[in-house]
Amino acid sequence: NIDFTIQSPISKEMKIDQSVAHNGVCLTVVDIEEDWHKVTAVEETLLKSNLKELKVHSIVNLERCMIANGRFDGHIVQGHVDQTAVCTKREEKEGSWLFDFEYDNSVGNVTVEKGSICIDGISLTCFNSADGKFSVTIIPYTMDHTTFKSLQPGHTVNLEFDIIGKYVSKLLNKK
């Protein structure tokens, strides 16, 4: 296991035993003080995510659970990372940024054109979808407020594939 202590302006609003996504990985808050909280990642989480690559002072995307009576934005994100991908391209495109990613598609995960993908906990629309690769475009707000600002080719990211797509794939592959 690895314990992570995260300093954040929203830490003081959290409660022990609450689930919070860290780079898209759902982790349980186990301790809180003033402006920090602590979570623990177990072996399974470390094997399927990029959390093992975090270092002191790494920037982490945080997302709290959706309130049941709130508005539903984006796609259904559970914080259950399916696998990692590698960024293969970053290109500025007149005020937005294009990123390409490659992942091992032998485990059965797929993207679809204009479908949903969650990268380090950020709900996005993918395009240029092909076997084991896809692209996303990032707007300035996302670039300024997430880990995309430091993402470069060669970096590993966490992927959570669309839950509906995962169920359809599983049902179609039943024997």
pLDDT value at residue 175: 53
* Type of residue numbered 75: H
Q: Which residue has the higher pLDDT, 173 or 50?
A: 50
Question: Above 70 in pLDDT, residue 98?
Answer: yes
pLDDT value at residue 76: 76
What is the tens place of the pLDDT at every residue in 110-162? 898 998 999 999 999 999 999 999 999 999 999 999 999 999 999 999 999 98
Give the model's confidence band at 163: pLDDT under 50 very low, under 70 low, under 90 confident, else very high: confident
Whole-angstrom CA distances from 14 to 35, 56, 111 are 10, 22, 33
pLDDT value at residue 79: 81
Structure tokens at 59: 């920037």
Place of tokens 């007149």: 94
Structural domains in the chain, CATH included, are 2-64 (2.40.30.20), 83-172 (2.40.30.20)
Report how far residue 132's alpha carbon sits from residue 115's, in angstroms, rounded to the nearest whole number: 14
Tell me the whole-structure pTM to 2 decimals. Answer: 0.82
Report how far residue 151's alpha carbon sits from residue 99's, in angstroms, rounded to the nearest whole number: 9
pLDDT value at residue 166: 81
pLDDT, average across residues 77-86? 90
pLDDT value at residue 93: 92
